[in-house]
Amino acid sequence: MALARFEGKIVLITGADGGIGKTTAERFSEEGAVIAAASNNAERLAELEREFTDRGRPILTLTTDVSDPGQVAEAVRRTVESFGRIDVLVNNAGIAWEEDFLEITPEHWRRMLDVNLNGMFFVAQETAKQMVRQGEGVILNMASTNGLVGEAKYAHYNASKGGVVLLTKTMAIELGASNIRVNAVCPGYIQTQMSEAIDDPAFVAEYIRTKIPLGRVGKAKDVAGVFAFLASEDAAFITGETIVVDGGQLTF
């Protein structure tokens, strides 16, 4: 029997039209949630809205650049205006690209941090204000295994995701008294648009052989399922945690 843990719950997802975000939106929707979907890509959001509407699934789309605090405040305001509350935030929007440490320009450094860390903070803080008013809520921040260990050519990305891990722990400490749980998910190699740049088949085969005990790369649904667990009552006593979803890559 399919689970239906989020019947009528309001779930705000950023980056909801991307690989992991879209699968996560579908997962929560299948379990009964109403989705508020934010992203800076209006075209893909419109497509997502069509797909959901065609299947009779409720969705509100919000064209939002998470690095702009004004746009974030407006997205949260519109969500609350439409549905009265936000039960779960999946703070997922992010960007990544490879770049040698010595080549990173101040502009590139700032953009990575602006979206992946500052944006995460703006969305989390604005949503948490609403959750404090409600007296409950769940916040799930998208980090990465790159927030726990280093990887060459990703200094700006790694720094942004490392920041998300400690932001998560600090939020958990401060928001626990308001009955708000805050956790982070740290995926390893998940095949999505973001990973396309490194999806050369020979590279992927060697990567799997040498680095991933479970013998495959991850799928968006591997991460969506963990978000759903963490948002559910089964995770009622888990906060400030970072859950690694990497097929065992960080075990050695």
Ligand X SMILES: NC(=O)c1ccc[n+]([C@@H]2O[C@H](COP(=O)([O-])OP(=O)(O)OC[C@H]3O[C@@H](n4cnc5c(N)ncnc54)[C@H](O)[C@@H]3O)[C@@H](O)[C@H]2O)c1
Residue 215, class by beta-carbon neighbours within 10 Å (0-12 exposed, 13-18 middle, 19+ buried)?
exposed
Exposed e or buried b per residue across 180-195, where buried means at least 16 C-beta atoms within 10 angstroms of its C-beta? bbbbbbbbbbbebebe
142 — alpha (psi -120 to 50), left (phi > 0) or beta? Answer: beta
Residue 170 or 193 having the CB closest to ligand X: 193
User: In the complex, which residues of this chain contact ligand X (CB under 6 A)?
Assistant: 14-15, 17-21, 39-41, 64-67, 92-96, 115, 119, 142, 144, 187, 189-190, 192-195
Residue 4 or 118 having the CB closest to ligand X: 118
Q: Which residues pair with 91 in a beta bridge?
A: 141
Residue 47 or 178 having the CB closest to ligand X: 47
CB of 142 to ligand X, least distance (A): 4
CB of 115 to ligand X, least distance (A): 4
Question: What does DSSP assign to residue 239?
Answer: -
What does the longest C-alpha to C-alpha distance in the chain come to? 53
CB of 136 to ligand X, least distance (A): 25
How far lies 103's CA from each of 95, 97, 106, 125, 221, in Å?
18, 12, 10, 33, 35
Pick the catalytic residue: 154, 157, 189, 207?
157
| Residue length of the chain | 252
Residue 19 or 137 having the CB closest to ligand X: 19
Respond yes or no: is residue 189 known to be catalytic: no
Side chain identity at 211, as an amino acid letter?
K
CB of 114 to ligand X, least distance (A): 8
- Tell me which residues are annotated as active site: 157
